[in-house]
Amino acid sequence: MTLLDFFSRNSGELIALTFEHLFLVVVSTGIAILIGVPLGILLTRKPALSKPILGFANIMQTVPSLALFGFLIPLNVYLFHVKILGGIGARTAIVALVLYALLPIIRNTFTGISNVDPAIRDAGRGMGMTDRQLLFQVELPLALGVIIAGVRVATVICVGTATIAAAIDAGGLGRYIFRGLRANDNVLILAGAVPAALIAIAADLLLGYVERAIQFGGAIQWRSKRLLWAGAASLLMIFGIVGFFMGKPAGRIAVGSKDFTEQVILGEILAQAIEGKTGLQVVRRFDLGGNLAHDALVAGELDLYVEYTGTALLAILKSQPLTDPQEVYRRVKREYADRFKLEWTEPLGFNNTFAILVRGEDAKKLGLKTITNASRVSAQWRAGFGQDFMSRADGYPGFARTYGFHFQEIREMDLSLTYRALAEKQVDLIAGNSTDGLISRYGLVQLEDDRHYFPPYAAVPVARQGTLQKYPELRALLQQLGGTLTVDEMRKLNYAVDGEKRQPREVAREFLQRKGIHG
């Protein structure tokens, strides 16, 4: 399928995502202007503040977006009964984008005003202008070109960064990019990246035109410039008001998922089962990056999502690795109830552990069955690991120690890219997920964890206690779903989406029909 085919078949969705993207960019840039320009002006009046303020804006730009999201989601800040900080969705994405957009705007406002010819400023003061009059009648108009140049940079940064907003369910063209990365689908990646790039180019050209037109006394007269600003400001107000009220609608069940295929399928299965069996309305908040789903569940922005026992034990509770599946389940269930008021319901049945994978041909040629086998022949091998595997307690360091691995080279890349890298012989061993559909697609072989290094990762829906108390029918449904999914079944579902390019929604529906749960 070519990109154009994709666009013509999905034009409705494409337009919706483009508008979501534009919404994020316009609102964030607008708020950044409303904060950044006054701050820049303040710096020209109180130069002592320029170090701390510009320093802060500088640091904000270097914070990785997922880390920033993780910090923002648990916050719970209200202004006049309207939540302005925290949670998942557009609100948090906008706050993060504003923080990224601030630096160029503050800096250019400061520079633009500082660079106004001192003789002109003296002329204004000598004619009896107050500081305020000097600012609005002389300094700001003359600095406007430079300020617009800053807004231009900020806007382009926002267009790019807004693609990551899909990681916290804020929508936008990032959805295509994340889906594409997950499914190893270049067309999908381009479907998100190309329109985003076009928006960036269009915004750059448009603001470049405004910048030139505004150069003193050009095509746009000062009066109409004022009109332009007023128009832009009111547009922002409308966008902003709409944006702030967007949140989790009351009286609905919010089902979440992390940002990989299996999670989206599981999210769909939960969502459709709830819709079909209980008649409750469901909001889907999928594709949440990192541990953001957990943060959102704790913050009350989600009611349930599927978590893995090992992930909860190590990444969230920060405990030492344990190997007994029953013990792990009991432990996380108890600690979640105590610490977060969250309930672990019935395990779905399968275990999604790390799978140490090699190419089928290598396994046959070298007779590899277990990880220990591989450790003996791996001196010349290159390994490809996701960021997750490299950083977690049950990840690479312990793995290499337990089995005595010394790779020639370790390449850290996005998990979804490692399968293809292995198949294309760019690396020789990867740590994938045992349920990944790509394992069979690329003919990869999973090596047995013969020293029992990896803890169990049983998939279990985790829900807010309050939600389960309020809707007893939900608890009953989750019990019914317990034990319905084997590893093989999960691998098939994953392959249907990743390999056969089918919609998670359809795949989930068929599964529920097979199990007699649907409708």
Partner 1 sequence: MNNDRAAIEFHNVSFALADGRQLLGNLNLQVNMGETLVLLGRSGSGKTTTMKLINRLIDPTAGEVRVDGKATVEWDPIRLRRRIGYVIQEVGLFPHLTVEENIGVVPRLEGWHPDRIGDRARALLTMVGLDADRFARRYPRELSGGQRQRIGVARALAADPPVILLDEPFGALDPITRREIQQEFRSLQQELGKTMVFVTHDIGEAFVLATRIALLKDGEMILLGPPEDLLKSRHPEARAFAQCFHDSQSSGSPR
Q: In whole angstroms, how close is the CB of 214 to partner 1 at the nearest point?
A: 9
Burial class (CB in 10 A: 0-12, 13-18, 19+), 244: middle
Q: Helix 504-514 and helix 487-498: axis angle, to 10°?
A: 150
Q: In whole angstroms, how close is the CB of 147 to partner 1 at the nearest point?
A: 13
Q: In whole angstroms, how close is the CB of 124 to partner 1 at the nearest point?
A: 8
Q: Determine, following the binding rule CB under 8 A, whether residue 229 of this chain makes contact with partner 1.
A: no
Extract the runs of DSSP E, i.e. beta strands, from 199-252.
Answer: none
Residue 72, C-beta contacts closer than 8 angstroms, at least 6 positions apart: 85, 86, 92, 95, 96
| Among 52, 119, 251, 318, contact with partner 1 (rule: CB under 8 A) | 119
Q: Which is nearer to partner 1, 76 or 130 (CB)?
A: 130
The token pair at 245 is 């009220």
Q: Determine, following the binding rule CB under 8 A, whether residue 338 of this chain makes contact with partner 1.
A: no
Q: Determine, following the binding rule CB under 8 A, whether residue 138 of this chain makes contact with partner 1.
A: yes
Q: Determine, following the binding rule CB under 8 A, whether residue 141 of this chain makes contact with partner 1.
A: yes
Q: In whole angstroms, how close is the CB of 139 to partner 1 at the nearest point?
A: 11
| Torsion angle of the four alpha carbons 77, 82, 87, 88, in this order, in degrees rounded to the nearest 10 | -150
Q: Determine, following the binding rule CB under 8 A, whether residue 126 of this chain makes contact with partner 1.
A: yes
Q: Which is nearer to partner 1, 147 or 181 (CB)?
A: 147
Closest CA to 40 of 136, 91, 113, 93: 113
Amino acid identity at 397 = P
Q: Which is nearer to partner 1, 138 or 288 (CB)?
A: 138
Q: Which is nearer to partner 1, 119 or 250 (CB)?
A: 119
Q: Which is nearer to partner 1, 59 or 127 (CB)?
A: 127
Q: With contact defined as beta carbons under 8 Å apart, do 72 and 295 qualify?
A: no
- Region of residue 383 (phi > 0: left; psi between -120 and 50: alpha; otherwise: beta): beta
Q: Determine, following the binding rule CB under 8 A, whether residue 124 of this chain makes contact with partner 1.
A: yes
- Region of residue 392 (phi > 0: left; psi between -120 and 50: alpha; otherwise: beta): beta
Report how far residue 456's alpha carbon sits from residue 446's, in angstroms, rounded to the nearest whole number: 16
| Strands 459-464 vs 342-344: parallel, antiparallel or unpaired | antiparallel
Q: Which is nearer to partner 1, 122 or 424 (CB)?
A: 122
Q: In whole angstroms, how close is the CB of 223 to partner 1 at the nearest point?
A: 11
Residue span 184-223 as binding mask against partner 1, x where in contact by CB under 8 A, dash where not? --------------------------------xx----x-
Q: Determine, following the binding rule CB under 8 A, whether residue 130 of this chain makes contact with partner 1.
A: yes
| Among 5, 13, 122, 327, contact with partner 1 (rule: CB under 8 A) | 122
The residue range among 112-120, 175-183, 392-400, 471-479 that interacts with partner 1, by the rule CB under 8 A, is 112-120
Closest CA to 65 of 125, 24, 4, 112: 24
Residue span 70-109 as binding mask against partner 1, x where in contact by CB under 8 A, dash where not? ----------------------------------------
The token pair at 455 is 């803890």
Residues at the site binding partner 1, with contacts judged by CB under 8 A: 117, 119-120, 122-130, 133, 137-138, 141-142, 216-217, 222
